Amino acid sequence: MVLFNTTLPYLLSGISVGGQYALIAIGYTMVYGILRLINFAHADVFMVSALCMVYAVTTFQIPLYIAIPLVVALTVLLGFAIERVAYRPLRSAPRMSVMVSAIAVSYTLQNLALYITGGLNKNYPSIPWLSDSITVLEATTKRVTVVTPFLTIALVVILVMFIQRTKIGTAMRAVAKDFETSRLMGIKVDSVISMTFIIGSFLAGIGSMLFFTNYPGVIPTAGAMPGMKAFVAAVFGGIGSIPGAVLGGFVIGICESLIKGLDTILVNTGLLQSPLELATFSDAFTFVLLILILVFKPTGLLGEKIADKV
């Protein structure tokens, strides 16, 4: 019972963070599936989305019911613009150039955020219903913690249906399977890629609202860590696979949160005399998982096997 009571809050927040990672991870996994590009800028799109929210609500005093759709729209626009400006001109360039371009976009967005915020921590506005405190099985938490996993699952179900049932969804699958052939078949590859970025940024925008509601503030590098973790989640689940990204997001969120609380849990249950400060490794553990999965199952949990062509 002691074990359950001490573990529960960590488990809850783990599931919630996991859901947020899952939403970001979808953006990574879809882009990678089609362009074979680690979109390093995605993490910063997520951060910029949060900053837009801060400025929309605190500086411009826009009411929330307008601000939320506005911010999501801006995020989508940003994702779309990045693809247009930084990735499309490099379509025929080697993969490494595109990746470097992604890193440069990320660098630019961070520096821009640094300039605009002056490097100060910006408090994220509280969204009334989401940031209310509630009690789940004697553990106090914000409502967003409980809402996140359900919202994530709902969005993913809609997305999967979109990809399976609609025409553009079919085109996406075709492009992911074989870039050149689908172009020959008359699919407008460029608009499919734009659509991918739009969907990815839309989900990152929603994810950022959920993430930062539970988080003290926004700084220019706030996106980096969640972004890296979401990417790891995408690799863990099998890059290119949407259910895989969601699974990976939850696994990583829960592991991270449990490690944050591992000292408390171990001490409370009497397994450990004094704390070992294991919380330091909550971020690093994600990468341990990454390396383990890359070594033992490089295609990820749900990924497809790709044969190497010479």
Partner 1 sequence: MENKRIQNLTSVVFLLALFALVIFLEQVIKPTDTMAMLLTVTKKSAVYALVAVSMNLLNGFTGLFSLGQAGFMLMGAYTYAIFTIESERRDSVYYYFDQVVNVSLPETLGGALGSVGWLVGVLLAIILGGLVAAGVAYLIGFPVLRLKSDYLAIATLGFAEIIRAIFQWRMLGPVTNAANPLKSYVRLSDFKIGTGDAAINISTFVAVLLAVVCIGIIVMLINSSYGRAFKAIREDEVAAEAMGINLYKHKQIAFCISSFFAGVGGAMLAMFANTVQANNFKSNMTFEILLIVVLGGIGSVSGSCIAAVFFIFASEWWLRGLDSGRFLGIFAPGIFRNGFRLVIFSVGIMLVILFFRRGLMGDKELPYYVKWIKDKLTTQKPKAGEANG
Residues in the site for partner 1, rule: CB under 8 A?
A: 32, 36, 38, 85-86, 89-90, 93, 95-97, 99-101, 103-108, 110-112, 114-116, 118-119, 221, 224, 228, 231-232, 235, 276-277, 280-281, 283-284, 286-288, 290-291, 294-295, 298, 310
Select 187 or 293, whichever has its Cβ closest to partner 1. Answer: 293
**Nearer residue to partner 1 within complex by CB, 112 or 168:** 112
Q: Taking the CB of residue 5, how many other CB atoms lie within 10 A of it?
A: 13
Distance in Å, CB of 124 to partner 1, minimum: 21
Shortest Cβ 236–partner 1 spacing (Å): 11
CB of 165 to partner 1, least distance (A): 31
CB of 30 to partner 1, least distance (A): 15
Query: Which is nearer to partner 1, 216 or 298 (by Cβ)?
Result: 298
- CB of 64 or CB of 100, closer to partner 1: 100
Closer residue to partner 1 (CB): 35 or 203: 35
∠ Cα 31 34 35 (to 5°): 75
What minimum distance in Å lies between the beta carbon of 224 and partner 1? 7
- Least separation in angstroms between CB 109 and partner 1: 9
CB 268 within 8 A of CB 6: yes
Dist. CA 279–CA 217, nearest whole Å: 20
Distances (CA, A) of 265 to 122, 140, 238, 271: 32, 17, 31, 9
DSSP 142: E
Cβ atoms of 26 and 200 within 8 Å: the answer is yes
Contact 111, 47 (CB under 8 A): no
Structure tokens at 7: 């573990």
Complex with partner 1: residue 134 or 284, whichever CB lies closer: 284
CB of 90 to partner 1, least distance (A): 7
Alpha-carbon Rg for the chain in angstroms: 20
Report how far residue 308's alpha carbon sits from residue 310's, in angstroms, rounded to the nearest whole number: 7
Please identify, using beta-carbon distances, which residue of 155 and 232 lies nearer to partner 1.
232
Task: Give the residue from 207, 206, 214, 179 showing the smallest Cα distance to 193.
Answer: 179
CB of 119 to partner 1, least distance (A): 7
Question: For residues 80 and 281, which CB has a smaller minimum distance to partner 1 in the complex?
Answer: 281
Phi, psi (deg, nearest 5) at residue 142: -85, 155
Note the maximum CA span of the chain: 67
Distance from C-alpha of 300 to C-alpha of 239, rounded to nearest angstrom: 7
Name which of 137, 134, 156, 158 is nearest 145 in CA terms.
134
